[in-house]
Amino acid sequence: MQNLNTILLQFDIPPGTYEWDFIQAGLINSTYKIYSIGGGNSYLLQQINTNIFTEPERISRNVAIISNYLKHHFPDYLFGHFIPSKTGNTLVVDNGNTWRMQPFFENTYSINTIQTVEQAELTAYEFARFSAMLSNLDSSTLTPAIHDFHNLELRWNQFLAALKSASEERLATAQNEIVTLHNFQHLVGMYTDIVSNKLLPLRIIHADTKINNILFDVATHRPLCIIDYDTIMPGYFISDLGDMLRTMLCIGDENCNDKKQLLIRNDFYHAIIRGYKNGMDGIWSSLEDRYVDYAGQFMTYMQALRFLTDYLNQDIYYKINYETHNLDRAKNQIYFLNQLSSL
């Protein structure tokens, strides 16, 4: 494991006072929990993947804007912030690597799969509440860390480009999935329609609402706060509701290799939508109501495209543990999408 002492020193943490554990969190950045040997505060230290987040200062700026807004309008709301280094910058660049640190919220835990309907409803409520609290903050003050992040048309075009450049071998092994993703192309058309005809209100969204991006309170087992602020940006509710449907409707996660665990739990479907709409109370629009069923398909399809594209591109984006990992992830998304589309 990497020696983090030089990085910690730049955050004014002297060597020998803290230890660290690597945390399996996310497919992009590398995350460490830093804990004090003497029992002081703990932190989360992240090495940012700058191949993907090419301008990490955008994230710092967005988080500062949101954090200030929330402090002013919702002072009781728990939201992390980035800790300045000794030079006052929240980003530390060392040996070509970029780091940032934030407080670790004690007495919390995160989960990779949802067990109870109640957890699902509360989580959906919490993510919706986040968007709702920011509904009077001008979304154009934020700069997306990744341009066109949830632009389904772009994801589709990236998939087509990957088909052109992929090796024969990868094309052959992904043949069935390639056909299926073409069969769902109408979902891209629906997205284009939404954007070009301005069918949905632009909101500030989290854009990575998978279930392990929420912290639960060890005492109450209720959601305490949302984390992973990398992709907070202007967008549509279908991203946030959609990713929750994608990651919370079945017991298995996107890496799971047991199809039985990828079956949709109908009661969870209704609970997530109920929780989300309640969290959006007062600002939810009838236009949005029309796209509730589209949301889950939109995000699951996009994720299938993204995993398959990465497989075809020889795994340049997502961390993988074995050769066909991205292909298997895409298969899971497709299996799930087939169910969603026939609900």
Locate 279 and state its tokens: 């969290």
Measured at CB, which residue is nearest to ligand GN1? Answer: 26
The whole-angstrom separation of Cα 111 and Cα 216 is: 8
Provide CB contacts within 8 A for 286, sequence distance 6+.
none
Instruction: Return the SS3 of 146.
Output: coil
Alpha helical stretches, state H, 249-313: 266-279, 286-289, 292-312
Residue 121 is a binding residue for ligand GN1 (CB under 6 A): no
**Least gap, CB of 210 to Mg ion (angstroms):** 8
> 300 with 239: CB under 8 angstroms?
no
Q: Which of residues 124-143 bind ligand GN1 (CB under 6 A)?
A: none
- Bridge partners, residue 19, by sequence: 35
Given candidates 4, 11, 18, 26, which one binds ligand GN1 under the rule CB under 6 A?
26
Nearest Cα to 304, choosing from 171, 174, 124? 174
- Please report how close the Cβ of residue 212 comes to Mg ion at its closest, in angstroms: 9
Six-digit token pair at 19? 């230890």
Which x/- pattern, by CB under 5 A, does the window 77-116 give for Mg ion?
----------------------------------------
Q: Is residue 228 part of the contact set for Mg ion (CB under 5 A)?
A: yes
Please return the burial class of 235, using the count of CB atoms within 10 Å of its CB with bins 0-12, 13-18 and 19+: buried
Q: Which amino acid is at 233?
A: M
Which amino acid belongs to residue 288? E
Q: Smallest distance, Å, CB 28 to ligand GN1?
A: 4
Q: 208 or 254, CB closer to Mg ion?
A: 208
Choosing among Mg ion, ligand GN1, none, which partner's interface includes residue 264 (Cβ < 5 to 8 Å by kind)? none
Contact with ligand GN1 (CB under 6 A): which of 239, 303, 332, 333? 303
* Contact predicate 273/146, CB 8 Å: no
- Minimal distance in Å, beta carbon 214 to Mg ion? 12
Using CB under 6 A, which of the segments 21-29, 33-41, 81-89, 169-177 binds ligand GN1? 21-29
Shortest CB 243 distance to ligand GN1, Å: 6
**Scanning residues 158 to 217, which ones bind Mg ion (CB under 5 A)?**
208
Q: How far apart are CA 252 and CA 260, in angstroms?
A: 8
Which window, 14-22, 26-34, 115-123, 171-179, contacts ligand GN1 (CB under 6 A)?
A: 26-34
d(CA 328, CA 323): 10
φ/ψ (deg, to 5) at 102: -140, 165
The backbone torsions φ and ψ at residue 113, rounded to the nearest 5 degrees and listed phi first, read -140, 150
Mark residues 170-209: x for contact with ligand GN1 by CB under 6 A, - for none.
--------------------------------------x-
Q: Report the interface residues with ligand GN1, using CB under 6 A.
A: 26-28, 52, 146, 208, 210, 228, 230-231, 254, 303
Q: Report the interface residues with Mg ion, using CB under 5 A.
A: 208, 228
